[in-house]
Amino acid sequence: MSRLPTPLKLTAAVAAAGTGARGGVGLLAYVQARVAGADTGSSDPLHWLDGDVGPSHASAHRVVWLGDSLAAGLGAIAPDVTLPRLVATHGDRRSRLHVFATPGATSTDVVEHQLPALAQLAHGLGQIGQRIDAVGVTVGANDIAAFTTRRQFRRNIAAITAAVDGTPLILVSIPDLADAIRLPHPLRALASVRGRWLDRVLQDAARLGERTHYANVWQRPPWIRRRDRPNFLSPDRFHPSGAGYAVWADRVAHAFELALRPVTI
């Protein structure tokens, strides 16, 4: 495992002592992102995951994904082992995917760059009598390093919820950065605490939103032992591998199944 450079260790230690626990966690999370080589948010989606996935069917669910590298598929060696496509294969209908997620995106990036793309797509589909059936979101991990306050994160999640305008919304939890073994201690543990603190916003949004669902990928399944974690990470030891995304897909697909059930009156 790579070691944290001494100047960064000193900077983190001084900031943690001078700003208190919350400020120290924020700075240490920033340092861990630098060490991990995390991307900074680009406004251009990759589009390598767009297209039809799943069994043939007379009609297809149209699904949009917003967010960061987790929805964009970083760590996977091929499109078919990314989270959006693995989730789509769980359903009994075809899914038509539009992935606007970009590596490094924060919740602010989603609001400023991806929601306009979502609105444009929804408007265009409306002109031909079609609609978006569900929206999946992976966001929050980069907010740890971006010093996003929980108040601002809550505002951003509220903006995302409002923008989908009643379309079923699936919020994927912030993953546990304690499992990102590229990060040295204590950065790993502190980033994990900060992530859990922000993740409560996603849980609250799902609890309060009638058509908003929460998919918990934070907790490892009990059959994955601690020593087995490297088997579910990509070579960068930070993002999930295809196997890691497959584990997540089981839980996320269940949330999509609930979201796409017909509304009963």
pLDDT per residue rounded down to tens, the chain (265 residues): 333 444 444 334 333 433 344 444 554 444 444 444 444 445 566 678 999 998 776 678 999 999 999 999 999 999 999 999 999 998 788 899 999 999 999 999 999 999 999 999 999 999 999 999 999 999 999 999 898 999 999 999 999 999 999 999 999 999 988 777 677 778 888 888 999 999 999 999 999 988 999 999 988 888 888 788 888 889 988 899 999 999 999 999 999 999 988 766 5
pLDDT score of 225: 81
pLDDT score of 264: 60
pLDDT score of 227: 83
Which residue do the tokens 């990470």 mark?
233
pLDDT score of 238: 86
CB 97 within 8 A of CB 133: no
Which residues make Cβ contacts (< 8 Å) with residue 45, sequence separation at least 6? Answer: 72, 99, 100, 101, 102, 114, 117
CB 187 within 8 A of CB 35: yes
The answer, as to whether pTM is greater than 0.75, is yes
CB 135 within 8 A of CB 168: yes
Q: Where are the domains of the chain?
A: 6-259
Q: How far apart are CA 119 and CA 137, in angstroms?
A: 15
CATH fold label, 6-259: Rossmann fold (3.40.50)
pLDDT score of 10: 38
pLDDT score of 87: 96
Q: How far apart are CA 63 and CA 55, in angstroms?
A: 15
